[in-house]
């Protein structure tokens, strides 16, 4: 570890590592340290369900996530690392007139921004996923779905390792087992960080710590409108491939995809309390199993292999907080809630530009911290509360 770096990035998840990579790759800034209190990918980046999509509700959100999908498409080549991106389509089911209306709204906003999404009916859904119960007898009958062909899944660990290797190869230092315990501020400017392995002088610190973001921001005296809640997920034993697409049901609070190895990966919405605990609960798995069986009764004999939890940094409008803060040199790339893995590439690219130029790139202009003062929120709840 050097006594000083041009840039210190706190958090060794996809966001911190992507920022380090693009700082070097796009701007030639490589005197950079990524400080990670555990191991690379120990946070949400190694715990998520790896769903990629850009079918959001607001124009700001659609444009932003679509840029990330564009970067993901060529990531394996750019990093020379197989990230196993599988474009397999994404279905968000509507079980009520109200959610069908939201799906139509999303489809129109998507199309206006050049993103492929359309509302389809139960017959077409059944043709795509024969195991799904679309009968009128279901407790919550399926009335239609938002179909988003560009969506898919990826190997999340590979993305983390690919960015880590790429950043290190270009000169960034990645320090694991190095917890930031203090941020030095003098005269309203960042001057350095304190860590469990010694002090580092720097004029630029990027907070990319997701679930821990508000704790780390408070070290610099910055308050964030963020609450942290656990989000749980679970996976079954491998089954014969039968599920060609990602399925989300907002009403049933559940989503499912099948990995290339055949496992079914399930997720839900966040636990209904704030906590820094990363333990799974029986209550979650009981609720999840019931809802999965309502969607696909044939899965009654599938066996769960394991469950786990990660931390989600939730903002009031289900959109991130990115850019500068009232402390000069202290930047944030946080508020990633349940949906931030897919944003890793575009966030890394945008934060690197922000640090290198001192200006906010247009693509993240709507996500500044000051929007909570001006009241110009980017309301994404309708597209991000359950489907991640």
Ligand X SMILES: Cc1cc2nc3c(=O)[nH]c(=O)nc-3n(C[C@H](O)[C@H](O)[C@H](O)COP(=O)(O)OP(=O)(O)OC[C@H]3O[C@@H](n4cnc5c(N)ncnc54)[C@H](O)[C@@H]3O)c2cc1C
Residues that bind ligand X (CB under 6 A): 10-16, 35-38, 42-45, 47-51, 179-180, 208-212, 216, 231, 233, 267, 310, 312, 336, 338-342, 388
Read off the DSSP letter of residue 328.
B
Q: Pick the closest to residue 6 from 154, 246, 171, 142 (CA basis).
A: 171
Closest separation between CB of residue 181 and ligand X, Å?
7
Residues 276 and 36: their CA atoms lie apart, in Å, by 17
Sign of CA dihedral 364, 370, 376, 378: positive
Output the smallest distance, CB 290 to ligand X, in A: 19
Give 147's strand partners. Answer: 91, 118
Q: Give φ, ψ of 285 to 5 degrees.
A: -70, -35
**CB crowding 345-370: b at 16 or more within 10 Å, else e:** bbbbbbbbbbbeeeebbebbebbbbe
Tokens, residue 79: 């990093």
- Judging by DSSP bridges, how do beta strands 205-207 and 7-10 pair with one another? parallel
**Closer CB to ligand X, residue 51 or residue 103?**
51
DSSP 223: -
* Beta carbon of residue 86, minimum distance to ligand X (angstroms, whole number): 13
Smallest distance, ligand X to C-beta of residue 373, A: 23
Q: By C-beta, is 16 or 150 nearer to ligand X?
A: 16
Q: How far apart are CA 1 and CA 331, in angstroms?
A: 22
Alpha-helix residue ranges (DSSP H) falling in 139-249: 156-169, 213-219
In the bound state with ligand X, the residue whose beta carbon lies nearer, of 38 and 297, is: 38
Nearer to ligand X, 134 or 322 (CB): 322
- In whole angstroms, the minimum distance from the beta carbon of 141 to ligand X comes to 26
C-beta closer to ligand X: residue 124 or 179: 179
Query: With contact defined as beta carbons under 8 Å apart, do 17 and 164 qualify?
Result: yes
Shortest distance (Å) from residue 85 CB to ligand X: 13
Residue closer to ligand X by CB (options 106, 388) is 388
């Amino acid at each position: 570890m050097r006594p000083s770096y041009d840039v210190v990035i706190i958090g060794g998840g996809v966001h911190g590592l992507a920022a380090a990579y693009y700082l070097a790759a796009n701007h030639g800034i490589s005197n950079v340290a990524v400080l990670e209190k555990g191991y690379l990918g120990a946070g949400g980046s190694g715990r998520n369900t790896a769903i990629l999509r850009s079918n959001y509700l607001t124009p700001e959100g659609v444009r932003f996530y679509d840029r990330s999908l564009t970067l993901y498409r060529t990531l394996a080549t750019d990093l020379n690392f197989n990230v196993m991106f599988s474009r397999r389509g994404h279905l968000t089911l509507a079980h009520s007139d109200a959610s069908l209306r939201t799906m139509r709204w999303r489809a129109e906003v998507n199309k206006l921004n050049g993103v492929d999404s359309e509302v389809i009916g139960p017959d077409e859904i059944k043709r795509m996923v024969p195991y799904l119960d679309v009968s009128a007898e279901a407790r919550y009958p399926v009335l239609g779905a938002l179909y988003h062909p560009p969506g898919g899944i990826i190997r999340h660990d590979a993305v983390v390792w690919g960015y880590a290797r790429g950043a290190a190869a270009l000169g960034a230092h990645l320090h694991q087992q190095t917890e930031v315990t203090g941020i030095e501020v003098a005269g309203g400017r960042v001057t350095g960080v304190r860590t469990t392995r010694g002090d580092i002088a720097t004029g630029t610190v990027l907070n990319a710590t997701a679930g821990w973001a508000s704790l780390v921001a408070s070290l610099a005296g910055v308050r964030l409108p963020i609450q942290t809640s656990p989000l749980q997920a679970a996976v079954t034993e491998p089954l014969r491939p039968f599920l060609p697409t990602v399925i989300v049901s907002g009403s049933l609070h559940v989503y499912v995809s099948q990995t290339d190895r055949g496992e079914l990966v399930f997720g839900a919405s966040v636990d209904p309390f704030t906590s820094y605990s990363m333990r799974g609960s029986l209550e979650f798995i009981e609720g999840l199993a019931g809802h999965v069986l309502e969607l696909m009764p044939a899965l009654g004999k599938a066996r769960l292999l394991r469950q786990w939890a990660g931390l989600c940094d939730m903002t009031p409008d289900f959109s991130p907080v990115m850019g500068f803060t009232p402390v000069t040199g202290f930047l944030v790339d946080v508020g990633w809630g349940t949906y931030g893995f897919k944003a890793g590439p575009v966030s890394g690219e945008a934060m690197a530009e922000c640090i290198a130029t001192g200006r906010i790139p247009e693509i993240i202009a709507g996500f500044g911290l000051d929007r909570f003062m001006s009241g110009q929120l980017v309301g994404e709840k309708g597209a991000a509360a359950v489907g991640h």
